[in-house]
Amino acid sequence: MSDDVVINQFVGEYESGGTMAASDDDLSWFPPPGVQLTFFAAQDGAGKPIAKVRAANTGSWSQQAKEAVEKAEYRVRGNRLWARMDFGGIPLLETVAMIPNTNRKMVHLIEFDSGEVGYWICPSKP
């Protein structure tokens, strides 16, 4: 599958469902229920396809997390998207994958530089 085809599978509007798993130390990274994320196709400086994200209705979500997600360039790896980003001086890797047979529900896997791993689930908006 081409990168454009994979990216287009993620394009759309999603809303954080509040399902997450992380240590208390990392909870400010994870969005509370109701945060809206819009994934859209874009190109990096070299003209290669990437996905970008806009966040809205962020409520109590950390401003640093919102900015990190919106600055990130999500690239294709297999049938997933991934991005390296910086969250308040802490490097992390986010991998985004569609959960099979769930009507466009995606899981965001977060791996912090410390080795700590967490996830959150974001269903497509109806």
Q: What is the pLDDT of residues 13-25, one digit of tens each?
A: 999 987 777 766 6
78's tokens: 């297999």
Residue 119 is predicted with a pLDDT of 87
From residue 77, alpha-carbon distances to 34, 65, 96, 97, 105 in Å are 28, 23, 10, 10, 18
Question: What pLDDT is attached to residue 46?
Answer: 97
Both structure tokens of 122: 């974001």
pLDDT value at position 120? 85
Domain that holds residue 110: 3-123
Q: Can you say whether residue 24 is alpha, beta or left, with left for phi > 0 and alpha for psi between -120 and 50 degrees? A: alpha
Q: How many CA atoms lie within 13 A of 105 on its CB side?
A: 12
Q: What is the pTM of this model?
A: 0.89
pLDDT number for residue 19: 78
Q: Please choose, from the candidates 58, 66, 11, the residue with its C-alpha nearest in 3D space to the C-alpha of residue 34.
A: 58
How many residues can be counted in the chain? 126
Are 98 and 121 in contact by the 8 Å Cβ rule? The answer is: no
pLDDT of amino acid 8: 94
Q: CA quadruple 25, 28, 34, 37: dihedral positive or negative?
A: negative
Number of domains in the chain: 1
Report the distance separating Cα 121 and Cα 19, nearest Å. 6
Low-confidence residues in the chain, pLDDT < 50: none
Amino acid 58: pLDDT: 83
Q: 29-41: per-residue pLDDT in tens?
A: 788 889 999 999 9
Read off the CATH number of the domain in which 103 is found: 2.40.128
